[in-house]
Homo-oligomer: A and B are copies of this chain.
């Protein structure tokens, strides 16, 4: 790949993306929260739970790209205001998805990190638009995208003038049906040799099964990932979307402890 900026080294050769006081790419970063912002109560309770459980950044969707036009499409501005309030209550910065070029400027005023979702990875107009903002971008891999295509999308953002890109592997589409997608764990070491950008993984969308998430999160850390992003809901069975992959606060807390412990071991004792 002949990209210009992806091969440009920074600092010690790797990019560290600052999200408030959190340094993504330096130590372990845990992102957690609900799939969708449903209500103020649900969002703030979940935010408090994940902060107590050990999260560094809150996640939550206000604009939901849904397969069907008749499914819940998100609360929009109202959702962003709830996320802002959750940040005030917990001190956690938050990441939220943006899906329309016209929304980028004002969503960027609310959010700490803008997410480009898997379905929009090759929405080049959107990539150019977020490249103009000053906010870090969490770029999810398209479910059918090669690593090379993904890095070219990161390049769109970097080329636009925004150096703060976090790559997020969230599973690719294969023939296997036991899992929702297939987590491409090899992408972690592959990206470590192809780019200086931080890499996190999303085992919730990759597997679609609560029971597999802890093992996959530990695998990601052992493979060298800079972080993990998971879905947590105070009451998974009542979640508006993705209820089969949402952890309870207790499950999240137990898992986060193991992740911190494993990360420390890998970093200092291996």
Residues of A within 8 A of B (CB): 3-4, 65-70, 99-102, 119-120, 122-126, 142-144, 146-149, 152, 155-156, 159, 172-179, 182-186, 188-190, 192-193, 206-207, 211-212, 215-216, 218-224, 258, 261-262, 265-266, 269-270
Are A189 and B173 in contact, CB atoms less than 8 angstroms apart? no
B144 in contact with A185 (CB, 8 Å): no
- Within 8 Å CB of A212, what residues of B? 186, 189-190
Q: A3 to B212, alpha carbons, bound, how many Å?
A: 22
Q: Give the CA-CA distance A172 to B176 in the complex, in Å.
A: 9
The number of times this chain is found in the oligomer is 4
Chain B residues with Cβ below 8 Å from A174 are 172, 174-175, 182, 184
A173: chain B residues at CB < 8 Å are: 144, 175
Which residues from chain B contact A223 at a C-beta distance below 8 Å? 215-216, 218-219, 222
Question: With a CB–CB cut-off of 8 A, which chain B residues contact A159?
Answer: 69-70
When A120-B123, A261-B270 are in contact, do A211 and B186 touch as well, CB less than 8 Å?
no
| Beta-carbon nearest neighbor of A193 in chain B | B211
Whether B178 lies near A147 (C-beta < 8 A) is yes
> Which single member of B99, B146, B186, B220 contacts A207 (CB below 8 Å)?
B186
What's the nearest-Cβ distance from chain B to residue A128, in Å?
8
